[in-house]
Amino acid sequence: MLRSFIMFAVALLIGVSPAAAHEEPRTILFIGNSFTQGAGSPVLRYRPDTVDDLNDEGVGGVPALFATFAEQAGAEWNVSHELRGGSTLGFHLRERREAIDAAWDVVVMQQYSVLDPERPGDATATAQDAPALAAMFTRANPAVKVYLMATWSRADQVYREEGHWHGRPLAAMALDLRAAMDTVHAASQDIDGVIPVGEGWNRAFARGLADSNPYNGRAFGKIDLWSHDQYHASAHGSYLEALIVFGYVTGIDPRTLGPDERAARDLGISTPVAAALQQLAAEQLGMI
């Protein structure tokens, strides 16, 4: 009884409907690679005890940020992930099928950062592997919601001469990835949507919140969404990624988490920046 009352009170305080606080826990599976792991930042080892790491590698990552947001929002989720750095969706389909072929309520799938490691920008394999995974999850649970994540522009792929997107605007890579995911989504009846993470990053650059070129030094007062290697996400970048995923999947406005939100505090993200990133995520999701 006391636990129910506390959940009810928390739900009212953060603006979530009391009914949401009484729902049975839902299950969510994240599959992907280092972009979902949070490699290159403290997000990688963030609160691994809050998630079920199917590879048993002690990774918290974006799934742990999702779990932390859900906990604060009074929404009950059992969060699992099967993540392998440098992997494609095809790897998870062929090599990890036994671990992930189960009845999930929601699945978030993240493809390799340039789509195909051998042929950057080529979505041929994605168009085969993503629908095959989605069909597998749908067979296990016909009511499952399967989403593709569209990731961000890699600074190294844009600013370095050997980059596939070199010579094009920074936003172009993220938009190309989104277009590829939209095409795959449209062709599969088992994929339910595309999560616009890369476009959220584009919005942060356009708004002047984040520095758009790490190779010429970070501008005063701006955050760096990339990690030291200029393609993985920093803690700020993964935080924005997780906010967009959380809002998209749950329908909860990220702004209700508040500027003093726990994960931001733990990761050293200031309250003004946390509030700005929550605002930006809500805008990207059309919640404003």
For 238-268, what is each residue's pLDDT tens digit?
Answer: 999 999 999 999 999 999 999 999 999 999 9
Q: What confidence tens digit (pLDDT) does each residue in 103-145 have? A: 999 999 999 999 999 999 999 999 999 999 999 999 999 999 9
130 is in which domain, residue-wise? Answer: 24-284
Give the angle 117-123-163 at the CA atoms, nearest 5°.
Answer: 45
* Nearest to 75, CA basis, from 17, 130, 128, 124: 17
Residue 12 is assigned to a structural domain of this protein: no
DSSP state of 119: S
Non-local CB neighbours of 77 within 8 Å, separated by 6+ positions? 25, 26, 27, 28, 66, 67, 70
**Mean pLDDT within 47-63:** 98
Q: Look at residue 13 and tell me if it is in a domain.
A: no
Say if strands 77-83 and 106-110 run parallel, antiparallel, or are unpaired: unpaired
Would residue 11 count as lying in a domain?
A: no
Residues in contact with 161: Cβ distance below 8 Å, sequence separation at least 6, in sequence order: none
Domain of 91, CATH number, reads 3.40.50.1110
Q: What is the pTM of this model?
A: 0.91
**Of the candidates 53, 56, 54, 55, which has an alpha carbon nearest to the alpha carbon of residue 64?**
53
> Could you give the CA distance from residue 240 to residue 197 in angstroms, rounded to a whole number?
8
Task: Tell me whether residue 137 is in a domain.
Answer: yes
Question: What total number of domains does the chain contain?
Answer: 1
Identify the band that residue 18 occupies on the pLDDT scale cut at 50, 70 and 90: very low
- Cα 88 to Cα 74: distance, rounded to the nearest angstrom: 33
Q: Is 185 contained in some domain?
A: yes
pLDDT value at position 5?
40
15 in any annotated domain? no
